[in-house]
Structure 1
Amino acid sequence: MIEPTKFKMSIPKPVKSKSFLFFLCYFIFSFDLHAQEEQGVRNSIEFSPQVSLGVFTAQNKLTGTAYGGELIYHMNTVANPRPWMKMLNLKSLDLVFNYKNMSDIVMVSDPRPDRFGDSYALIAAFNFSLLKTKNTELFVTPGLGLGYLGETWFTNENVLVGSHLNFSSRIALKLATRIGPATKLSAGLDILHFSNGGTRVPNNGMNVSSVSLGVVQSLKTASAKDTAFWSRPAEYKKHSVDIGLAFGRRGVYRSKGGLYKTGLYAGYNYRLNAVLGLSTGVDAVYYHTIYDPLRNVETYQSKAGSYDRWRVGLAAGPDLWMGKLGLMAKYGYYLHYNSVQDIKTYWTAGLKYNVLNWAAVQAKIYIHQTEADFVGFGLIFTP
């Protein structure tokens, strides 16, 4: 593939004092706590310093250690849970702020220092209980949010990252042990992922696995009255049909330009219960710009490249419902795709939220093997 001329631009680095403000908030909260635990269920705040076990990508070898930490606000859901919360043993809804200093991380093939800068992420997460004894509990916490990476291809030719702003996903396994009336000690393992979903290329993404040790401090009691709005069960149809529309953009290689696509979907849903469902349907993607060998740099889309305006596939997979919020994942086979690289299968994953009984907003990513194509945002109609 022909590479365009490299260029640089200067973008100021984020102010590192942001992390100090979060730490300061933690200490302000801690001085306002009650010495004895009140009756009821409490929200809590957690501070966990972290050190990386490894930083890695799919195509490049990295070495070095990343240091940082997390500040987490746990909003307890035990006081008055919805049915799906009971079924999944959800203990809290979490807001996670994650910071990483990656100045020590270098690429083996290009060991120049300070290639990645600092990273910041703000993530919404679900905290599920797996095992519990009298004083100790094991949790798994998946989450999704937005992240900021300090350096990109356009600031210092970082070949892994094409944009400052990225989607950020995280999954953590944590063990919490009570050491006082309102205090717990936590230890955990987690993986944090950064990727822009193909909106700007290159987009190899970055993964950071870390170990943490921290403190969880209880705050104000969350009473049943405080969380009464959670107790209303969400209604659902056992059989339904979805018609979806999503619009998105894939980045042009090492450029700030983009190639736009429109995704259409029509499918059938079967709900097993309030939490689990199965769905199958047809995905159609319209290319506003197709691949042209005479314009290789401007139209190249790697595994997502097409000589035709349309590609069509049939996919199936599970849906996980948490009230009005659904998480969807499907694996599909192409019925028609005049692919530049002879791609036959694809993945889709996403979120949908029912704003009405017959309409939802959605965010949906299309993936070939491990490579993101594009993220589409739009609507789903359920007649």
Structure 2
Amino acid sequence: MYRFLIIFITLFHFKANAQYTRALGGMYFPGFLYAHTADARNLEAHIQGFEVSYSQINNTGKAWSNYYRDAEVSYNFLFMNLGNPDITGKIYSLGTNFNFNIKGNANSHIALRMGTGLGYITQKFDFYNNRKNMAIGSNINGCIQLGIYYQRKLSPKIYLKSGIGITHFSNGSIRVPNLGVNMPSIFLGLQTRYNYKNVKQDTTLKPVKQSKHLLLFNYAFKEKFTAKPRVFNIFNIGYRMTKSISPVRDWYFGGDLVWDATHPYSHDLKNPNPRVAIDNSTEVGILIGHQYNIGKLSFLTDIGLYIINPYQTKYFSYQRLGFRYRFNKNWYANGTLKIHFGTADYFEWGIGYGFNKIKLK
């Protein structure tokens, strides 16, 4: 009787069945380079891209796999021809994507795709040889991908994927110019699966619980002025209050206090040494955001409004995309790209301290 009880409990907690756990895929990306500012209109062109990927599928044994249906963790190589060989050239990129089912079943569903990586762009701005490229100031650039696609099972091993998405490359103003390039596209691809074996789904695993309150301390630097580049340091103190809506999803609310000395320089372009002080270099913003939690890693998106925006040198609203990694109960690493409607402001990196209660005496 005792042995029977042990076997019953084991079968109840672990659902075992044979599944494919690995996959190889290929994707074709036809699209266009979209000019989000007047300075980049000469770069507009039809683009083509190709991607090959290796994916981990049926990620049983991970707590988050109980909540993300048909999730895939993919590692990819991306090639893109930007349509202007002498001005923008080509892109070679390595990255990772996280994809999961948002509507449908394992055989036919709609999935969300989120990705990041690093890319090498063959043609960048050069004051003497390539002044027409006012979008990219460095060869190495960060990549962010967002997309939604339909996946259909064609055979036990073969799956069809088709959808729409956008790919963004920029260097976060580490080098000027840095308008970045945004490329909406459709995509069509096939995936073949392999490594067929028995897998066990542990339904007792629980995802990492996020802190209710979070203090952030971030640093960034960026260049300004194409003719005579100058580096500026940026410091940010932030607060986030998190509201869980599922074991792996959270809304958060908060604010930012930022020191950015580029404001007086952008306001008075004729003055090489304007007055820089707290009153003309301090930003204050409030924001709302959302995060997907995948184990200790979180993917972030938020949108904020400036309460204080010196000289109105930036748009009234800002957005962020990025990640946060939890080291332990209290400490986090933070890395995000701050943008203004498609134009990158800067990459910021830092640490965070999380806690669950505010004690008032």
Q: Common fold, TM-score beyond 0.5?
A: yes
Counterpart position of 2:124: 152
Asked if the contact 1:43–1:222 (Cα under 8 Å) also holds between the matched residues in 2, the reply is no
- Structure 1 residues 90 and 263: CA distance shift in structure 2, 3 A: farther
Deviation string for 1:28-84 (max 9, x for gaps)? Answer: xxxxxxxxxx9323310002234x2322120233554323310011101354452x4
Moved runs in structure 1, 4+ residues, more than 6 A? 297-300
SS in 1 for 2:179: coil
Q: Percent identity?
A: 20
Q: What is the aligned counterpart of 2:27 among 48, 64, 72?
A: 48
- Structure 1 residues 280 and 39: CA distance shift in structure 2, 3 A: closer
SS in 2 for 1:65: strand
Q: What is the aligned counterpart of 1:68 among 45, 49, 54?
A: 49
Asked if the contact 1:148–1:166 (Cα under 8 Å) also holds between the matched residues in 2, the reply is yes
Q: What is the aligned counterpart of 1:169 among 131, 144, 152?
A: 144
What are the equivalent positions in structure 2 for 1:1-383 lying under 5 Å apart? 39-50=18-29, 52-59=30-37, 60-61=40-41, 62-82=43-63, 84-102=64-82, 104-105=83-84, 114-132=86-104, 135-154=107-126, 156-157=130-131, 158-221=133-196, 223-224=198-199, 232-236=205-209, 240-254=212-226, 257-287=230-260, 291-292=264-265, 296=270, 308-341=280-313, 344-383=316-355
One-letter code aligned to 1:165: I
SS in 1 for 2:264: coil
How many angstroms apart in 2 are the aligned matches of 1:299 and 1:73? 52
Asked if the contact 1:79–1:223 (Cα under 8 Å) also holds between the matched residues in 2, the reply is no
- Structure 1 residues 231 and 258: CA distance shift in structure 2, 3 A: farther
Asked if the contact 2:182–2:342 (Cα under 8 Å) also holds between the matched residues in 1, the reply is no
How many angstroms apart in 2 are the aligned matches of 1:40 and 1:312? 51
One-letter code aligned to 1:371: T
The CA deviation at 1:348 is 3.6
How many angstroms apart in 1 are the aligned matches of 2:287 and 2:105? 42
Deviation string for 1:338-383 (max 9, x for gaps)? Answer: 2353754433443211011100000133334443322210100114
**What are structure 2's unaligned runs of at least 5 residues?**
1-16, 356-361
Tell me the TM-score normalised to structure 1 length: 0.74
The CA deviation at 1:87 is 2.9
The CA deviation at 1:236 is 1.8
- Structure 1 residues 235 and 341: CA distance shift in structure 2, 3 A: closer
How many angstroms apart in 2 are the aligned matches of 1:114 and 1:133? 46
One-letter code aligned to 1:156: N
SS in 2 for 1:272: strand
One-letter code aligned to 1:183: I
How many angstroms apart in 1 are the aligned matches of 2:306 and 2:106? 52
Q: Cα RMSD between the aligned structures?
A: 3.3
SS in 1 for 2:79: strand
Asked if the contact 1:138–1:174 (Cα under 8 Å) also holds between the matched residues in 2, the reply is yes
The CA deviation at 1:294 is 6.8
Q: Which shows bigger deviation, 289-298 or 363-372? A: 289-298
- Structure 1 residues 67 and 231: CA distance shift in structure 2, 3 A: farther
Deviation string for 1:322-347 (max 9, x for gaps)? Answer: 22222333333334332353754433
Asked if the contact 2:20–2:194 (Cα under 8 Å) also holds between the matched residues in 1, the reply is no
Tell me the TM-score normalised to structure 2 length: 0.78
Higher share in strand:
2
Counterpart position of 1:108: none
How many angstroms apart in 1 are the aligned matches of 2:315 and 2:149? 39
SS in 2 for 1:382: strand
Asked if the contact 2:18–2:199 (Cα under 8 Å) also holds between the matched residues in 1, the reply is no
Asked if the contact 2:219–2:348 (Cα under 8 Å) also holds between the matched residues in 1, the reply is yes
**How many aligned positions are there?**
329
How many angstroms apart in 1 are the aligned matches of 2:49 and 2:340? 32
SS in 1 for 2:67: helix
The CA deviation at 1:153 is 0.9
One-letter code aligned to 2:199: A
How many angstroms apart in 2 are the aligned matches of 1:370 and 1:339? 21
Q: Which shows bigger deviation, 145-154 or 209-218? A: 209-218
Asked if the contact 1:317–1:331 (Cα under 8 Å) also holds between the matched residues in 2, the reply is yes
Asked if the contact 2:135–2:178 (Cα under 8 Å) also holds between the matched residues in 1, the reply is yes
SS in 2 for 1:152: coil
One-letter code aligned to 1:47: G
**What are structure 1's unaligned runs of at least 5 residues?**
1-37, 106-112
